[in-house]
Structures are given as structure tokens and as C-alpha cells.
Amino acid sequence: MAESEGGLSLPSAKTVYIRRHSLVTRISHWINVLCLSLLLMSGMQIFNAHPALYWGQYGADADPSWLQMKAVEDGETLRGTTRIGDITIPTTGILGASRVDGEMTERGFPAWATIPSYQDLATGRRWHFFFAWLFVINGFVYLVYGFAAGHFRRDLAPSGGELKPRNIWHEIIDHARLRFPKGDKARHYNVLQKVTYLVVIFILLPLMLATGLTMSPGIDAGYPFLLDVFGGRQTARSIHFISAWTIVLFVIVHLVMVILSGLWNNLRSMVTGRYAIRTEGSNI
């Protein structure tokens, strides 16, 4: 029942369930969660075979690297370090050197973060390639659906008004203050979400795929121009690494926003498609 104040009737709040995510979007989302998790863990296993990154065509211990994880002897034990450019950071126990079976061992990434946990480049590559192709197939299905069903145009394409600097700055301030949209505004993604999703879908993920293919000698033999596009296999490896961890950063921020804006409501919308919004009165 509506409350009243000073003789005036105030509209009561209503909870309305809307269909926010289609079945294809929900299935592709959870397949992506599986694939990205295992791609990251198997990718760290592959990286551990040579935990250093270079620019150009070649990379070896004698060449200057822009990133390197290694262990250095410190008395009777090992100390892990991570060097980025000229800056060296102590990362013992996590990067460079971590415990394996109770003993400090030289490793780029720790055993608990890689698949398999023990050092095995061949097995790591098999895991990586399998889930990379599953990820590509899933992404292709999602793209076909997105264009055919108008998902990108209807849900992700920002309007001209949304791209105005004043509106973007307003959204940034609201996010920084953890002010999330309510009522009718909660039906749609805001401009920051739209731009971020489009960058990930159409820039970061294709970049990861292209650089991953460029690192394959078999692909290079058939399409040698890829090495010219990316400036060499080692440059492609560096870009692949940076893109992967940029996506990890995106996922972390995404999870934080999901939790803060309503964990159960967001999870339910990605499982059942039903998303609850609070409206004022009967004007939905």
C-alpha cells in the first residue's frame, strides 16, 4: 500500500523482473569463464618454460628483455625477483621463486596457479590449444548471434548522447562513488560498460587470437605476413601477454562491480536471464 505524507499519496516501490540476457549470451558467458580460466592457467605454464619477454623477432638469455622473472641465490635459499625494464621487484613466494613440495624452487608463476601444477610444457600447450579453439568457436557463435539478433546494435552500441564527455565523466563519478543505476536506467548498460565490452570483444580478444597464431611456426609458414604485422614472434608474445593480463584486470573489475551492485541479482540474470529492478509506482 502506498504511504502518505501531508495528505499526499506517495507511489510505492515495485520489484519488476526483466529479461536481461538471452540464452545464447548466458551460455557463451559461462563457456568463456571456463575457457579463460584454463587458458590463463595453461598460459602461465607455457610462460614458465622461459619466463622472460622481449621485443622483436628473437629472444634469448643474452638479449635484453623488458620483463623477466627469475630466482637469485640468497645464502642457502632462493629469492624470487621480477624485473620490468630497469625496475626489479622482490616477489619471493609468488613470482620467480616459490615453494614446491616444501622447497623453494625457481619458477615464473607458482605451481598452484598453473595447469598442470608441475613443470610440463607439452601438457600445458595441449591444454592451451584445446581451450583456445573452444574459446574461438564459442566467440564465433556469439558474434554471429550478436549481429543477427541485433544484440550489439541494441544493447552495446552507445548513442551519440552517451559519448558526450560530460555524460562519460558523470558515469565515472557515479562508479567511483559506487552509485549504481536504479529503476528504468537499470534496464540497460551504461556507456562505460558498453565501451568496455566493445573494446574487449572487438579489440583485446581478436588481438590475443592474432598474436597467439603469430607465435605458431606452422601458421607463420602459411601466413608469414603476420610476423611483419606484429614486428616479430617475440613482440607477438609480449602483446599476447599484455592483452591476457589486461583481460584479467577487466575480469577483476567486472567481478568487483558484480558484487557491489548486487551479487545474487547479477548471478541470477546470467543463469536464468531474469534481472530484478526497483521501480516507483506502476509506470514501468
Q: How far is CA 107 from CA 87, 137, 265, in A?
A: 19, 32, 40
- Classify each residue of 231-262 as buried b or exposed e, where b means 16 or more C-beta atoms within 10 Å of its C-beta: ebbbbbbbbbbbbbebbeeebeebeebeeeeb
- Whole-number percent of the chain with pLDDT over 70: 93
DSSP state of 261: T
CB 214 within 8 A of CB 230: yes
| Alpha helices, H only, the chain | 23-48, 121-148, 151, 165-176, 191-199, 205-214, 217-222, 225-230, 233-260, 263-271
Per-residue pLDDT, 4: 47
DSSP state of 149: T
Which burial class, exposed, middle or buried, applies to 108 when counting CB atoms under 10 A from its CB (0-12, 13-18, 19+)? buried
CB 163 within 8 A of CB 191: yes
Question: Which has more pLDDT, 95 or 1?
Answer: 95
Per-residue pLDDT, 169: 92
pLDDT digits (tens, 9 = 90+) for 135-178: 999 999 999 999 999 989 988 999 888 899 999 999 899 888 88
pLDDT at 12 exceeding the cut of 70: no
Q: Which three cell numbers stand for residue 255?
A: 567481478
pLDDT band of residue 282 (cuts 50, 70, 90) is very low
CB 199 within 8 A of CB 192: no
- DSSP-based three-state secondary structure for 135: helix
Q: Of 57-61, 64-68, 173-177, 239-243, give the lowest mean pLDDT range.
A: 57-61
Pairing of strands 52-53, 67-74: antiparallel
Per-residue pLDDT, 20: 83
pLDDT at 8 exceeding the cut of 80: no
pLDDT band of residue 39 (cuts 50, 70, 90) is very high
- DSSP-based three-state secondary structure for 20: coil
Tell me the C-alpha distance between 71 and 81, whole Å.
Answer: 6
Q: Which three cell numbers stand for residue 31?
A: 563457456
pLDDT at 244 exceeding the cut of 50: yes
- Whole-number percent of the chain with pLDDT over 90: 67
Which burial class, exposed, middle or buried, applies to 154 when counting CB atoms under 10 A from its CB (0-12, 13-18, 19+)? exposed
Task: Identify the H or E element spanning 181.
Answer: none
pLDDT at 11 exceeding the cut of 70: no
- DSSP-based three-state secondary structure for 151: helix
Task: Identify the H or E element spanning 275.
Answer: strand 274-280
Residue 183 backbone dihedrals phi, psi, to 5 degrees: 65, -140
Per-residue pLDDT, 2: 47
pLDDT at 131 exceeding the cut of 90: yes
pLDDT digits (tens, 9 = 90+) for 181-214: 877 777 788 899 999 999 999 999 999 999 999 9
Per-residue pLDDT, 1: 46
pLDDT digits (tens, 9 = 90+) for 177-190: 888 887 777 778 88
pLDDT at 96 exceeding the cut of 50: yes
pLDDT digits (tens, 9 = 90+) for 220-236: 889 999 999 999 999 99
Provide mean pLDDT across the span 266-272: 93
Give the residues across from 81 on adjacent strands: 70, 90
* Average pLDDT of the residues of the chain: 89
Question: Which has more pLDDT, 30 or 1?
Answer: 30
